[in-house]
Chains A and B, each alone.
Chain A
Amino acid sequence: MLILDLLINGLIIGVFYALMAMGLSLIFGILKIVNFAHGEFYMVGAYAYTLAAVMLKVPPWLALPLAFFAGAIVGLVVERLLIRPLYAGYTSWGLKRDEYAVIVTFALSILLINLVDKFVGPYGIRGPPLVGNARVHVGPAIVSGHRLVASLVAIALVAGTMLLVRYSHWGRQIQAVAQNRLGASLAGTDPARVSGIVFALAGGLAAVAGALLANVFNPTPDVGLFPATKAYVIIVLGGMGSIAGAVVASLLLGVLESFGSVYISYEYRDTFGLIILMIVLLIRPQGLLGEHSREV
C-alpha cells in the first residue's frame, strides 16, 4: 500500500502549498507582480506562532489566529509602504514597473530574513504541536495527530478562502479588480483598498501555513524560502492569477513530489517543480486553468 500512503502524504503537503500559493496568486491577479517576499510572510507566521506559544505560553489553538493577524499586518504594511507606488499615480513608469516590483520584494525578503536572524537568532525553535503527537491511521497511511489536525485546518482555510473570493462582497471586488482595474474603479470599487485586503489576506494565509508547519519544519530565518519556491511553481502551473488553478496545482505538485522522491530521485526532488515551471512557461504560459483578463 505504498502508493496510497504516498498519495495521502502528497495531498497533505499539497494543502499547505495551497495556503501559500493562493495568496501569491491573488496578488498576481490584481497587480500582475510576483511577490518575492512571500516566503517571509510564512516565516513571520511560523515565528509568531512559536514565540507566542513557547515564550508567552499562549495555548497553540489561540496562537494560530495570532499568527494569521501577524501575517496580515505585515502584508498590509508592506502594501502601503512599498507596493502602493506601483499603481498610485505613476502612470509613466511603464516597463520599469516590473523591475521595481522584483527589486523591492526581493530586497524585502532579504531584509526580513536578516532582521529575524539578528534579533531573534539564527537557530530553529520547534513549534508546539496543536494536539498530542499520537499517531493516527488514515486509511493505510500513518499520520501524526498534529499533521492531521493541521491539514484539516488548512483544508478549511483553503475552502473558506475560495468561497470568500467567489461569493463575498470583498471577494467580488477582488475579482473585479483582477479582471479590469480601470473598469472596477469606474464601477465604484477602490483598487487601493482591494490591494490592501489582498495583501492582508495573502500575508495571513501564508502566516497560518507557517504556523501549522512550525512543528514539522522548525522556524529558522530562511524557513520561508522552500515553501515560497513551491508557490512560484504552483502559480505558474495553475495559471498566474487563478485561485482554483492554484489549489489544483498545489495538490498535483504535492503528490508529484511525494512519488518523484521515491520513484525518480530523492536528491533532485526539489528540482522537479522548477523543471515543470520552465516547461509550462515555454509550452502553455497561461497554465492549467489560466484565465485571460478582459480588456477595455
Chain B
Amino acid sequence: MRRIVDTRGRMRTDFLASLAVLAIVAFLPAVMTSDYWRGVIVVSMYFALLAISWNLLAGYTGQFSLAPATFAMIGGYTTGLLAYHFGATAVLGIPAAIVVGGVIGLLLAAIVMRLRGPYLALTTLSFAEIIRVVIANSIDFTRGDLGLNVPSLFERRLTSYYVMLAVVAGIQAGVYWLLRGPGGLYLRAIRDDEVAAAGRGVDTVRWKTYAFALSAAIGGLAGALYAHFAQFVSPELGLVSQAGLVISMVVIGGLGSLGGPIVGAVLVYVTSELLREVGGYQLIVFAILVILFARFFRDGLWGLLRSGYERRFVTSDVRTVTAE
C-alpha cells in the first residue's frame, strides 16, 4: 500500500512546526543558565545545519552521500587557514567557506553524477577519506593533526547562541522555499525514479548538481561557524564517524522530512552529552536506535509525530490513495 498525500499542505505544516521547535530553543536560555549547556545547544545547531544539508541531498534528492562531515571540515579549514596565513577576519572567512564548500561540492557532483546506490556510497566515502588524509598530511600548510586555532567571533556565548539559531532558521526557510517550488518537485522526482524523471523532461544532471553544491555550501557554512565558535579546527571534524553521527541524527529524526533533521540533531546531541556523563554508552544507544528506526519506523520521530497529529486533527485535506 502506498499513500499519496497532499505534499504541499503537509510541507507547510512541517515547516511551521519546525519553526516552533526552533522557537522553543530560542526561549531555552531563560531557564538554562549554565554556559556549558548553552554551548551544547550551539553545537547541536551546528549539527542541525549539517543534518539539513545532508537531508536535502539524501532525503529529498536520493543521493546517499557519506561525505556530509567533509564539507564542514572544508568550511572550517577555509576560514581557519585564511585567518592563520593572511589574518583575515570572519567577515571574509565565512563567505569564503560557503564558496569553497560549494565549489568542492560541484567537483564531487561531477565525479559521482553517474553513480547510484552502493557505488555512490563507496565513492563519497573515499572522497571524504582522501580529503581528510590530505589535510592531515599537509603539515606545512594546515599544521596537520595539531589543528588550527581560529579567532572567536563573538565575546558572549549568548550572542553565538542566537546567531547560530538565526542561521539555522534562515537556512531552513531557504530549503523550504526551494522544496515547495518546482525545484523541490524535480528533486523528489529524481529521488523516486531518476530515469522516469529524465523521461518526463527533468534536467536531472542540472538538479543533482544544484543539490550537491547547495548541500556542500551549507556544510561549509556550518563548519566555518563551528570553527569560530570552538576556536579550533582539526581533521577530526571530517572523520567518517562524524558523518555517521549526522546520518544517525537524520535517520532518527526522520529522513526526507523538513523538521526531522533539526529535531534529530538536538535530541541526539543533547542525549549524547547526557549519556557521556553516565559512562559513554551514547554511541551504543544511538547505533541501536538507528537500526531500530531504519528497520521499523522509516519516517523517524518526525514521521511518528506527524502521523499522530494527522490522525488526531486532519480529516479532509489529506487525500489517502491506496495504490499497489
Q: CA separation between A240 and B115, bound complex, in Å?
A: 14
Q: With A110-B241, A277-B123 as known contacts, state yes or no: A102 contacts B118, CB within 8 Å.
A: yes
User: B126–A277 contact, CB under 8 A?
Assistant: yes
Residue pair B118, A82 in contact (C-beta under 8 Å): no
Of all chain B residues, the one with the shortest Cβ separation from A100 is B294
Total interface residues on A, using CB and 8 Å?
Answer: 42
A113, A275, A277 interface centre (most CB from chain B within 10 Å) = A277
Q: In the complex, are the beta carbons of B119 and A103 less than 8 A apart?
A: no
Work out how many contacts link A and B, with CB atoms closer than 8 A. 110
Is there contact, CB below 8 Å, between B117 and A92? no
> CA separation between A32 and B116, bound complex, in Å?
12
Task: Annotate A24-55 by CB proximity to B: 1 below 8 A, 0 otherwise.
Answer: 00001000111010000000000000000000
Name the prevailing secondary structure of the A interface residues: helix
A100 CB contacts on chain B under 8 angstroms: 294
**A115 interface hit (Cβ, 8 Å):** yes
Q: Contact mask B89-126 → A, CB, 8 Å, 1/0?
A: 00000000000000000000001001111110111011
Proximity bits, A74-110, B CB within 8 Å = 1, else 0: 0000000010010000001001101111111011101
- Is the C-beta of B133 less than 8 angstroms from some C-beta in chain A? yes
User: Interface digits, B118-156 against A, CB 8 Å rule (1 contact, 0 not)?
Assistant: 110111011101100110010000000000000000000
Instruction: Return B106 CB to nearest CB of chain A, in Å.
Output: 16
Question: Across the interface, which residues of A come within 8 angstroms of B248, CB to CB?
Answer: 107
Q: Interface stretch among A9-17, A181-189, A265-273?
A: A265-273
A104 contacts across to B, CB distance below 8 A: 290-291, 294-295
Q: Can you pick out 10 interface pairs between chain A and chain B where the beta carbons lie within 8 Å of each other? A: A34-B118, A92-B2, A92-B324, A95-B62, A103-B290, A107-B294, A108-B291, A110-B283, A278-B127, A281-B119
New A-B pairs, 10, CB < 8 Å, besides A236-B119, A270-B129: A34-B122, A36-B121, A98-B121, A103-B294, A104-B294, A107-B291, A110-B244, A268-B137, A278-B127, A281-B115
Instruction: Enumerate chain A interface residues (CB-CB to B < 8 A).
Output: 28, 32-34, 36, 82, 85, 92, 95-96, 98-104, 106-108, 110-111, 113-115, 118, 229, 232-233, 236, 240, 267-268, 270-271, 274-275, 277-278, 281-282, 285
